[in-house]
A and B are shown apart, each in its own frame.
Chain A
């Protein structure tokens, strides 16, 4: 069971040991970008060492670096939510998540502006 894009794996190390995640992108032969997504399985989108993953025999159709909504939709299409008895996040949670992501982007922009001003002085 090769580790490729869309492969559903079980995280076997770290805080999220025992939780499901999906591979989104192969960074190099040791590292891979994964996401739970956070609202579905509690694993957030981050780089992960393949030694901390155990591949499962499920693959979901997901393009590289897809957004969390697309991943949840792909989970549903492969009716994995019922098979792995996960709880689908409600629409309200999804909206709240989006706002949080926007806020972080806004903060990053303001920080850049502040750094810009310091250099000018």
Chain B
């Protein structure tokens, strides 16, 4: 938990505990935010089922859709 100083209406300063805000998951290559991945802290992520934590696609929760397309295009060109 993060400790935060809060000023009350009675002008008194109090230390309150706030949850830390989680970061958005980013694509490993282009560092753009990933779609379809919930923004939760590790403890909350644990409760979710595996299918809620990633996208149904090769490199699902790891790469964004554009990077997957480029990788697959290179793979296809290598076969030729």
Chain A residues with CB under 8 Å of chain B are 9-15, 17-18, 54-57, 84
Contacts and interface: CB of A to CB of B under 8 A. Distances in A.
6 contacts: A12-B68, A12-B73, A13-B57, A14-B57, A17-B72, A18-B72
Which secondary structure dominates chain B's binding surface?
helix
Contact of B57 (A10, A17, A57): A17
Which A-B residue pairs are the 5 nearest by beta carbons? A12-B72, A54-B76, A10-B76, A12-B69, A57-B80
Interface of B: 56-58, 65, 68-69, 72-73, 75-77, 79-80
Contacts of B77: 54
Contacts of A55: 76
Contacts of B72: 10-13, 17-18, 54
A13 B76 contact: no
Contact of B58 (A9, A18, A54, A56): A18
Contacts of A14: 57
A121 B14 CA distance: 72
Nearest to B66: A13
B73 A54 contact: yes
B36 to A, nearest CB: 13
